[in-house]
Structure 1
Amino acid sequence: MSRRVTQRDIARMTGVSQATVSLVLNNRSGDDVRIAPETRQRVLDAIRTTGYVADPVARRLVSGRNRILGVFTYEPVFPSTAADFYHPFLVGIEQRAEQLGCDLLLFTSSSQVSGAGGAGGGADGGAGGRKIFHADSRIGIADGTILLGRRVDRDDLVRLVGEGHAFVSVGRRDDAGGPVPYVGADYPAAVAALVERAHELGHTRIGYLGSGGPAESHADRLRGFQAAGGTVHLPPHNQQPPHNQQPPHNQLPLHGWLDAIERERLTAVLLEEYADAAALLAAARARGWSVPGDLSMAALGEPSGAGPLDETITRVRIPRREMGWQAVEQLTAAIEGVAVAGAVAGAAGGTVVQRLLPCAIHAGQTLVSRR
């Protein structure tokens, strides 16, 4: 096997010092770096001719960076098909990392038993079985980490913020001992736009169906609904249907919702999750209701699984690819210490970037004028 080409070899071939080769490799320029254009080109030609590849360990020793970005997922998201909820996030992360010349490292050896709720509970209702910090944590291998998942462990966030780790959450997160850097979806604006649209269509009794928390994404949806003048919040419940109508267990809350919609004289409802909207649509029609004739509806999110998508349902479209893309951009800027507009004061005197990206509305056919 041929010997690996080194910087010393490149220096000898081009008649320059090894320090000059290093400066060219790291694209260093400026008043303190004086390399003639023809010398720089000679080094670049030698690198291209020999197929030289920089030793990542050596580059880390010089720059303190290895251009590896970690991706930590709180739920299993790989492998992911194009129909999966996480696929667009991953596409955006991969595309931008490739453009920036960064490799991605997926952290998977982190399965731990973590309590749901309490001190170990996740910001989205419990972290399940994964934690970043454990006895064999390898988070330090990467220059920084992207957090991806609906459930994020609160203890992890507190430690990441407190210890000054470079990280970005995909999805808005509440403060954890200080502001959390994130790229999220602007749910309040999207939901408010749907409420306003329903008002324009003549609906005055509009309901919000869902928990409204504690997950930040759910709280944001409910906040947008209330700010725009939404009428009634109907949280999930397990009210039983009539004894002669026994649906599958996972559909029990739907009959309570249908009864409440009738009782509250609602003519339009916004459902926190797409799956609930699809199920309520079927349950309402099974009860003999016309949708959207008797009841208009819209989903405030995307399908969470790889099942069929009903394009007739009006819904909020989350900018998932863009969120992944900008998470990489934001993380690399933080690693390199590049100032970014819109930063807020961090916990340790630095700055933290928090971005909310606009959502689009898929018009569908289930939100129409009141008859």
Structure 2
Amino acid sequence: MSDRLTQRDIARLARVSQTTVSLVLNNRTAASARIPAETRDRVLKVIRETGYVADPLARRLLQQRNQILGVFTYESVFPSASADFYHPFLSGIEESAEELGCDLLLFTSAPVTDGRRLVFHDNNRLRIADGSLLLGRRIPAEELSRLVTEKYPFVSVGRRDDPDGAVVPYVGADYTTATATVTARALQLGHTAVAFVGPGQGAESSADRLRGFHQVAPRGLHLSPVETGGSSDSTPSGTADGVRPINAERAVEELLDELLERKITAVFVEDLADAAALAAATRRRGLAVPGDLSVVALGDASRPVDGDDEYSGFHIPRKEMGRRAVGLLEAVLSGDETDLQQLLACELVDGSTLSKPKGL
């Protein structure tokens, strides 16, 4: 890795955001006018003292930019079932883009197939934007590889594995550490029979959570998730073979049966909505949460959740991920490409659904 100073180094030394450093360096009148004089002077002082010099080629390319950042979502972000989950990401992206004086372009022309869309289709308009932000639970490896190969400037909101050894720029959440921390908390409280409910594979976020769980509880039980959305007679979407899955409420009841049969006292659930469904099923049996079964949510809900419980676990720093992703994309466009992969700490939540197991 090069020892060349980066905008991120300047931001750290000046105690400002990387976006602020970029605005000061590039002197964008409309956006930078909002930066207080004291802040601007502090950034310039650090630049003078460190001898920072921006890449000259990047500066020339900067003059040719449209000041448009693309946003591509692999799943729709507007249906009510997902709106609450994606809103903080988009809010952070919008806020940071405004600070930079950039417009956002939401790519919507890509055809949706099986509930998903792909960047590369016959009429893709990626080049309208200077670079793009990618949002989605799973991003096909072949798309990431092509973006890297074609040297298209992009940043993924969420950690992505490197296809073919390529470096994928991303700003993600440190699910591994957060999950390990809350699992350790449960063991400290006296839980010895614990279980993880979630895919644990496929999306990097799922694999990271399971990794964190097994770091602390290597013999912990791993159970596949169940569809818990919709009414009891609804058909959950996303079944590739068209086979109607079992009744969602019955699936949760069967999951609960297995947990109780195995004498599990604390369960760690990837999606808060699934955690809420499991807690509701537990209470319908006349059992207490957390007394009889502690339920820990490893993140936020991807669909609406009923009830006022504050679930123990952690929150995903979604808004800050959106903000930082724009800052990283700006760094990529400016030729300041150190620290292309960033993980942000999750916000731990004590909550009311984790306690000592009954009898301790």
Same fold at TM > 0.5: yes
2:173 maps to which of 179, 185, 190: 185
Cα distance, 1:222 vs structure 2: 0.3
Cα distance, 1:27 vs structure 2: 4.5
Change in 2 beyond 3 A, CA 1:311/1:282: closer
Q: Which residue of 2 aligns with 1:280?
A: 278
Change in 2 beyond 3 A, CA 1:64/1:150: same
Secondary structure, counterpart of 1:84 in structure 2: helix
Cα distance, 1:273 vs structure 2: 1.2
Structure-1-length-normalised TM-score: 0.71
Cα distance, 1:129 vs structure 2: 3.2
Q: Which residue of 1 aligns with 2:151?
A: 164
Paired with 1:112 and 1:77, the residues of 2 have a C-alpha distance of 13
Bigger Rg, which one: 1
Paired with 1:149 and 1:310, the residues of 2 have a C-alpha distance of 28
Q: Which residue of 2 aligns with 1:50?
A: none
Secondary structure, counterpart of 2:95 in structure 1: helix
Q: Which residue of 1 aligns with 2:222?
A: 233
Q: Which residue of 2 aligns with 1:330?
A: 328
Work out the number of aligned pairs and report it: 284
Cα distance, 1:264 vs structure 2: 1.9
Q: Which residue of 1 aligns with 2:189?
A: 201
Q: Which residue of 2 aligns with 1:103?
A: 103
Higher RCO, 1 vs 2 (CA within 8 Å, ≥6 residues apart): 2
Task: Return 5+ residue gaps in structure 2 as ranges.
Answer: 1-25, 29-59, 228-245
Instruction: Report Cα offsets for 1:151-193 as digits up to 9, x if no partner.
Output: 3233321210111110001111111231211111100100001
Paired with 1:163 and 1:236, the residues of 2 have a C-alpha distance of 37
Structure-2-length-normalised TM-score: 0.73
Instruction: Report Cα offsets for 1:76-95 as digits up to 9, x if no partner.
Output: 21488997111110110011
AA at the equivalent of 1:200: Q
Change in 2 beyond 3 A, CA 1:93/1:207: same
Change in 2 beyond 3 A, CA 1:99/1:136: same
Give the conservation status (yes or no) of the 8 Å contact 2:182–2:313.
no
Paired with 1:236 and 1:200, the residues of 2 have a C-alpha distance of 26
Paired with 1:365 and 1:327, the residues of 2 have a C-alpha distance of 32
Q: Which residue of 2 aligns with 1:244?
A: none
Q: Which has the higher helix share?
A: 2
Q: Which residue of 2 aligns with 1:45?
A: none
Paired with 1:141 and 1:79, the residues of 2 have a C-alpha distance of 26
Cα distance, 1:288 vs structure 2: 2.1
AA at the equivalent of 2:213: F
Identity among equivalent pairs (%): 52
Q: Which residue of 2 aligns with 1:88?
A: 88
Change in 2 beyond 3 A, CA 1:264/1:67: same
AA at the equivalent of 1:362: V
Give the conservation status (yes or no) of the 8 Å contact 1:191–1:224.
yes
Q: Which residue of 2 aligns with 1:3?
A: none
- The answer to whether 1:151 aligns with 2:149 is no
Cα distance, 1:130 vs structure 2: 1.0
Change in 2 beyond 3 A, CA 1:180/1:310: farther
